[in-house]
Amino acid sequence: MTLGMSFPEIIVVLGAALLVVARRLPSPAPRPLATGAAAVVLLSATALVVSGLRWQFAPVLAGAAILLSFSFPVLLGRPARRAPWWLAFPGWTACAGLIGVGLLAAWAFPVPDFPEPSGRFPVGTLVLEWTEPARPEPATPAPDDRRTVVVQLWYPARGSSTGTARSQYLGRTAREARVVSRAAADYLGVPGFLLDGASTARTRSVPDAAVAREGGRFPVVLFSPGLGGVRTQNTAWAEELASLGYVVAALDHPYDSAAVVLADGRTIRTRVAATGDAREDERRAAGWTAVRADDLGFVLTQLGRLDRGELAGPLTGRLDTARAAVTGHSIGGAAALLAARQDTRFAAVINLDGAPHDPEPRPFHQPVLALTHPVDPADNPTYIPRLTQVLDLSTATSYRLTVPGTSHLTFTDAPLYLPPVPALAGSLGRTDGLRLTAATSAAFLDATLRGKPGDLAARLSPYGDLTVHNADSGVRSGG
């Protein structure tokens, strides 16, 4: 990929541009130039149609087709007939505009190009599905329906991913990825085709790769996505942590995630929806948060069973569930905070820009890293005070890092495939926000799960405005 385009896409754009130029040049230049450009356009367009035409390039092909129709006399050896400039200019401009619109759309909605993880381990991934027999499904009235979650693991793998088929983004198969991307677009209220690029992307991990021989037992990091979000929404972050020697387990929450495709082929769509009434929406959010927190505790139990060999899987004997962090984005971050308060097996918490939804916050004992975008109190007057209240309840030293140039979605994969509009994806570019989120998370996990010595505040403070919440001194310091 170059500039978000494949080689045939680049060639068809260049061919269309040559056709535009050929129409403006005086004779005899147009004939060889038009002939070459026409051949380039036809061959590359054929390749695009065979391999799968992205919607962004439909305007490019439309503009090229119009230009080709006007170029046929030249291609057939007939003298070029020039219309008066005032008559030709609007058509020529319209064709150039169609090509420009296609280029702009390809730039705004590219196929995600995932950054190469920086750690020493290649990354493997696998998807598991677990049902909790004693827990009824809270979203349905069926008495026999039991809570089922889909979990994707990213883990340190053996060998190299070079030349190996990489994992499909958004799903185990192309069909699942397409179902999820269309459901996510529907949840966001945008046309489904806008996210088609994400459904065709490949990540940096290898499905079902062999587990790394070295590294011993790996600390585990559980992740809950944002409201309506899916397990893969922080894949770049998960792959980076896995390359550094962590096992990341990300959850799909049925009836909450935009779409969850089960092993039996059923697709469960989201049922979460806002009412517009602040009090009722907060009540609902607290309920969804509680369900997610229970899901996280259940998955940690299952990972322990997997490690002990009670469940089949390649990671038996390699998961150190005594060193487990619970993490999440948005409402997933709220669920991580609640799960930690309820379950002391979690040793640390990472909250990626999530406002708490615990109706009865109480003291808990794990350290927390909370990353936030710059919040205007006029827009959201309760977010930071509520988060501060919860962080102050931790008996461990915790950290709130406000990162300049970020938005709510900067802490996910969204900057890789959404338009780089600051209000939407932040102003850090396609990959800098992803790297920052992973770097700060890794520094915190190294300190809390691996006992890495040093001043954690000093490692975090270069990334933004740091506030340290220290229960021993009762002092909060900015940095």
Report pLDDT digits (tens) over 440-472: 999 999 999 999 999 999 999 999 999 999 856
Give yes or no: residues 163 and 241 share one domain: yes
The total number of structural domains that make up the chain = 2
**pLDDT-based confidence at residue 2 (cuts at 50, 70, 90):** very low
Give yes or no: residues 208 and 155 share one domain: yes
Give bridge partners of residue 469 from the DSSP assignment: 398, 476
Say how far apart CA 255 and CA 351 lie, in whole Å: 22
- pTM (two decimals): 0.90
Is the residue at 115 inside a domain?
no
Percent of the chain with pLDDT over 90: 73
Instruction: Give the lowest-confidence range in 87-101, 284-298, 369-383, 458-472.
Output: 87-101
What confidence score (pLDDT) does residue 1 get?
A: 43
Is the residue at 1 inside a domain?
no
Nearest Cα to Cα of residue 315 among 324, 325, 323, 305 = 305
Is the residue at 114 inside a domain?
no
Give yes or no: residues 98 and 14 share one domain: yes
Say how far apart CA 288 and CA 272 lie, in whole Å: 8
| CATH number for position 184 | 3.40.50.1820
Say how far apart CA 268 and CA 368 lie, in whole Å: 32
Give yes or no: residues 301 and 421 share one domain: yes
Say how far apart CA 382 and CA 458 lie, in whole Å: 28
Say how far apart CA 450 and CA 241 lie, in whole Å: 13
- Please tell me the chain's helix, strand, coil percentages from 3-state DSSP, rounded to the nearest 5: 45, 20, 40
Tell me: the pLDDT tens digits for 157-167? 998 656 678 99
Tell me: the pLDDT tens digits for 347-366? 999 999 999 999 999 999 99
Element (H, E) at 478: strand 476-478
The angle that helices 432-448 and 235-243 make with each other, rounded to 10 degrees, is 50
Say how far apart CA 431 and CA 404 lie, in whole Å: 15
Alpha-carbon Rg for the chain, nearest whole angstrom, is 26
What confidence score (pLDDT) does residue 475 get?
A: 46
Give yes or no: residues 98 and 181 share one domain: no
Is the residue at 344 inside a domain?
yes
Average pLDDT on 294-318 reads: 97
Q: Does 377 have pLDDT greater than 50?
A: yes
Give yes or no: residues 233 and 98 share one domain: no
Structural domain boundaries enclosing 404? 123-478
Give yes or no: residues 283 and 355 share one domain: yes
